[in-house]
A and B are shown apart, each in its own frame.
Chain A
Amino acid sequence: MFRYILRRLLQMVLAFLGTTLIVYALMFAGQGDPIQALAGERPVTEAQRAYLTEKYHLDATGIGGFFYRYFDYVRSLLQGDLGQSLTGRQIGDILQQAWPVTVKLALIALAVAVIFGVTAGVIAGIRRAGIFDNSTLVLTLLVLGIPTIVLAPLAQYFLGVKWQLFPPTAGAEPNFYALLLPGIVLGSLSLATALRLTRTSVAENLRADYVRTARSKGLVKRRIVSVHVLRNSLIPVVTFLGVELGNLMSGAIITEGVFNIPGVGFNLFRGIRTEDGPLVVGIVSVLVVVYLVSNLLVDVLYAVLDPRIRYE
């Protein structure tokens, strides 16, 4: 297990370098004059130009110059310095403000998926082909079929504006209540997938041979379902939710955009829109690490949940 984790960590280094390189290249490849982009509409004096050229090693051109600047960037990244955005703010500060909001939103979304998705999935799995099972099937297909870009404004309009059950937008420092509706919208997709997955898994495990054995041992039905079947059924569900939490942590561009939530996705989208290269690359670099680490954690968790899985 230890060797496995070590190997995965080494792979992560490669994956990290690869993804940041690609994002770095894409973001700066299309840019004309980076100094003018930094300055925006204001004029740039020769002295400023010389200073910035020196600072960012812009005198080195071609592939060599690109890699020179890339490794320069990675070096400061490893020292914990994400650099400055074109607006002059420290990217580290931006993330420090944005991340707690995104984490809160992600946890609300995950809680929605677990509480409603898994519970309904278990019930649907036990009462397979019943009314509950069929109605949840229709509902989940509906949710899975509607893209967030449609679902989020609809929820905002009806629940936020028309019936005013929730605040329609979150604002600068959103509280739990303001994040609830966006969290539900964001979680609905995970909810639907978790429900389908749980339902299939429970239905399948109920037919397993070990259930027959448990019955022949004279165990009560409640125990057979809640201990024997559930413990097996939830292995794929927990794995899915782990991966999903990793995804949610990286921010939800659409949901955060629609509800005006100052989270990671919101900032990332703003960076892309304003062609703020350092901001986009900075955020994506951190997201890559979050994603890689959460995937490793899920794989380790999987081995803990299922004794048959061994990592060498």
Chain B
Amino acid sequence: MTDAVIQPTPASATPEGGHLLEVRDLHVEFRTHEGVAKVINGVSYHLDAGETLAVLGESGSGKSVTAQAIMGILDSPPAHIRSGQILYQGRDLLTQSEEQRRQVRGKEIAMIFQDALSALNPVFPVGWQIGETLRTREGMSRADARRRAIELMDLVKIPAAERRIGDYPHQFSGGMRQRVMIAMALALNPKVLIADEPTTALDVTVQAQIMDLLADLRQELGMAMILITHDLGVVAGVADRIAVMYAGRIVEHADVRSLYRAPAHPYTKGLLESIPRLDVKGQELATIKGLPPNLMRIPSGCPFHPRCPYVQQVCVDVVPHSLVLGDGRTSECHFAQEVLDDSAR
């Protein structure tokens, strides 16, 4: 496939100037017996038709919670959306009824999960699970749904799809199971696919295959994709833009090239430096000292300040604003420009 593909993007469905999907100043907290954990503290990001946004962050940074808030599948209680908007094609999903949101799930925005073994129902054959939405939501006959399920399994390159359609999830390898998940998510031709750490549970070689498959499918079907991951290596080849999350905030947001060339937030800088390099031998692996904050007691000021090498008094006292650095780059750091200059050097 050449690069100059005309993508069948549903631009007409999006209001003028708006994005396909936009999260605006989202705040989510988990109300538990131990106290209130502020999991998402003002996240904003957007996604245009056909593009891939990578959301990067450690466990507990809120990347999956944001995605589940978009899907409307947060468990509440304990989750509680305090404020914010999630606009899909200009309409705020958070003000819609449960029935309206259900219509969006799977058909407009679909999601795949980390561990396909537990995410698939163990007692139903994979073909049944792939075709389920076609039968129940599209009113397809059993035979048609089965035929379409085989097509979808072919699409995600599961060998001998016709023979394996009656097999159960546990009879597949990890990579093949993830392909089943993907086929299931694609059944209703969603415009957005949210992939929540799709390769974390897989072997390294299989990881690459799944990422390639996702990249191919995105091109072929013209979907937009949100790729949630904690693996910087996974992101580079696939994503257009990256949003880096820390303690429930987007600390840096940039296109992939600029971010890899010169990060503008100390956290991103730390992450990039902690990737082991093959070309430098015998060097000690750099790490970010300390631990991610307890979300029930987020540090004052900039939440990253206890771990930050650039820390000053202002970082302890004042929450940094999002600094616009040009080219649509933003960084939530008081010293963003210094970090950027440092990195670029």
Instruction: Determine whether A295 belongs to the interface, using a CB cutoff of 8 Å to chain B.
Output: no
Are A219 and B136 in contact (CB-based, < 8 A)? Answer: yes
Checking A220, A223, A228 against B121 with a beta-carbon cut-off of 8 angstroms, the contacting residue is A228
Q: Which A residues touch B204, using CB under 8 A?
A: none
Are B71 and A210 in contact (CB-based, < 8 A)? Answer: no
Are A208 and B103 in contact (CB-based, < 8 A)? Answer: no
| Chain B 308-320 near chain A by CB (<8 Å), digits 1 or 0 | 0000000000000
Instruction: Determine whether B245 belongs to the interface, using a CB cutoff of 8 Å to chain A.
Output: no
Checking B102, B121, B170 against A210 with a beta-carbon cut-off of 8 angstroms, the contacting residue is B121
Instruction: Determine whether B295 belongs to the interface, using a CB cutoff of 8 Å to chain A.
Output: no
Are B123 and A216 in contact (CB-based, < 8 A)? Answer: no
Among listed B51-59, B80-88, B107-115, interface-contacting one: B107-115
Instruction: Determine whether A218 belongs to the interface, using a CB cutoff of 8 Å to chain B.
Output: yes
| Chain B 111-153 near chain A by CB (<8 Å), digits 1 or 0 | 1010100111111100000001100110000000000000000
| Chain A 112-136 near chain B by CB (<8 Å), digits 1 or 0 | 0000000000000000000000000
Are B113 and A307 in contact (CB-based, < 8 A)? Answer: no
Q: Which A residues touch B181, using CB under 8 A?
A: 213
Beyond A215-B105, A218-B107, A308-B170, 11 additional contacts (C-beta under 8 Å) are: A210-B119, A212-B113, A213-B181, A216-B71, A216-B185, A217-B105, A219-B132, A232-B121, A232-B122, A307-B123, A307-B168
Query: From residue A250, how far is it (CB to closest CB) to chain B in Å?
Result: 31
Q: Which A residues touch B111, using CB under 8 A?
A: 216
| Chain B 38-74 near chain A by CB (<8 Å), digits 1 or 0 | 0000000000000000000000000000000001010
Are A219 and B133 in contact (CB-based, < 8 A)? Answer: yes
Instruction: Determine whether A103 belongs to the interface, using a CB cutoff of 8 Å to chain B.
Output: no
Q: Which residue of B lies closest to A308 (CB)?
A: B170
Are A216 and B105 in contact (CB-based, < 8 A)? Answer: yes
Are A214 and B121 in contact (CB-based, < 8 A)? Answer: yes
The A-contacting residues of B in range 183-197, CB under 8 angstroms, are: 184-185, 188
Checking B102, B123, B170 against A232 with a beta-carbon cut-off of 8 angstroms, the contacting residue is B123
Q: Which residue of B lies closest to A231 (CB)?
A: B123
Instruction: Determine whether B106 belongs to the interface, using a CB cutoff of 8 Å to chain A.
Output: yes
Are B122 and A307 in contact (CB-based, < 8 A)? Answer: yes
Q: Which A residues touch B213, using CB under 8 A?
A: none
Instruction: Determine whether B104 belongs to the interface, using a CB cutoff of 8 Å to chain A.
Output: yes
Are A218 and B102 in contact (CB-based, < 8 A)? Answer: yes
Interface residues of A (CB under 8 A from B): 208-210, 212-220, 223, 228, 231-232, 235, 305-308
Q: Which residue of B lies closest to A306 (CB)?
A: B123
When chains A and B are docked, how far (Å) is the Cα of A305 from the Cα of B124? 10
Chain A interface SS verdict (over half): helix
Are A210 and B120 in contact (CB-based, < 8 A)? Answer: yes
Are A210 and B122 in contact (CB-based, < 8 A)? Answer: yes
Interface residues of B (CB under 8 A from A): 71, 73, 102-107, 110-111, 113, 115, 118-124, 132-133, 136-137, 168, 170, 181, 184-185, 188
When chains A and B are docked, how far (Å) is the Cα of A218 from the Cα of B138? 12
Are A217 and B118 in contact (CB-based, < 8 A)? Answer: no
Are B103 and A218 in contact (CB-based, < 8 A)? Answer: yes
When chains A and B are docked, how far (Å) is the Cα of A234 from the Cα of B186? 30
Q: Which B residues touch A232, using CB under 8 A?
A: 121-123
Supposing A223-B136, A307-B170 touch, asked if A215 and B118 sit within 8 A by C-beta, the answer is: no
Query: From residue B93, how far is it (CB to closest CB) to chain A in Å?
Result: 13
Are A308 and B73 in contact (CB-based, < 8 A)? Answer: no
Q: Which A residues touch B71, using CB under 8 A?
A: 215-216
When chains A and B are docked, how far (Å) is the Cα of A49 from the Cα of B70? 91
Q: Which B residues touch A217, using CB under 8 A?
A: 105-106, 110, 132-133, 184
When chains A and B are docked, how far (Å) is the Cα of A210 from the Cα of B116? 9
Q: Which A residues touch B105, using CB under 8 A?
A: 215-218
Checking A213, A231, A306, A307 against B119 with a beta-carbon cut-off of 8 angstroms, the contacting residue is A213
When chains A and B are docked, how far (Å) is the Cα of A307 from the Cα of B132? 19
Query: From residue A226, how far is it (CB to closest CB) to chain B in Å?
Result: 12
With most chain B CB atoms within 10 A of its CB, the pick from A209, A216, A308 is A216
Query: From residue A201, how far is it (CB to closest CB) to chain B in Å?
Result: 13
When chains A and B are docked, how far (Å) is the Cα of A219 from the Cα of B73? 12
Q: Which B residues touch A223, using CB under 8 A?
A: 136
Checking A220, A231, A307 against B102 with a beta-carbon cut-off of 8 angstroms, the contacting residue is A220
Are B120 and A218 in contact (CB-based, < 8 A)? Answer: no
Supposing A217-B184, A219-B132 touch, asked if A308 and B168 sit within 8 A by C-beta, the answer is: yes
Query: From residue A210, how far is it (CB to closest CB) to chain B in Å?
Result: 4
When chains A and B are docked, how far (Å) is the Cα of A218 from the Cα of B104? 7
Query: From residue B172, how far is it (CB to closest CB) to chain A in Å?
Result: 12
Query: From residue A43, how far is it (CB to closest CB) to chain B in Å?
Result: 69
Query: From residue B136, how far is it (CB to closest CB) to chain A in Å?
Result: 6
Query: From residue A207, how far is it (CB to closest CB) to chain B in Å?
Result: 8
Q: Which B residues touch A218, using CB under 8 A?
A: 102-107, 133, 137, 188
When chains A and B are docked, how far (Å) is the Cα of A208 from the Cα of B169? 15
Query: From residue B289, how far is it (CB to closest CB) to chain A in Å?
Result: 34
When chains A and B are docked, how far (Å) is the Cα of A231 from the Cα of B170? 17
When chains A and B are docked, how far (Å) is the Cα of A307 from the Cα of B124? 8
Checking A213, A231, A306 against B120 with a beta-carbon cut-off of 8 angstroms, the contacting residue is A213
Q: Which residue of B lies closest to A235 (CB)?
A: B123
Q: Which A residues touch B102, using CB under 8 A?
A: 218-220
